[in-house]
Amino acid sequence: MEYVYAALLLHKLKKEVNETNISSVVKASGTDVNEAQVKALVAALADVNIDDAIKAAPVAVAADAPAASGEAKKEEKPKDTGKTEEAAMEGLSSLFG
């Protein structure tokens, strides 16, 4: 997971997502680098538009977001989309190979 975070951080900072940069970020976090995982991630992201992947990813909304924005809090029942958390994670993991 730290490798994906490193790639997202590099992307956000508009740095090149490559093996050297990902390894540097992971090392800076105090974690040992597994070069095979770094290579696999870079290869998996080669054909991925990270901006599109982020836009397509499910987003969790804070429960008190309306109260924080000054709006009246409404009691709503969550919509059942039929997706389980496991199915959502499978979809997210498919974005990264």
pLDDT for res 21 = 95
Tell me the DSSP string of 18-70: -HHHHHHHHHHTT----HHHHHHHHHHHTT--HHHHHHHS-----TTHHHHTT
Q: Is the pTM of this model over 0.85?
A: no
Q: Which fold has domain 2-71?
A: Arc Repressor Mutant, subunit A (1.10.10)
Mean pLDDT of each 10-residue bin along the chain, 97 residues long: 92 94 94 94 91 84 59 58 62 59
The pLDDT value recorded for residue 17 is 93
Domain boundaries, the chain: 2-71
3-state DSSP assignment of residue 23? helix
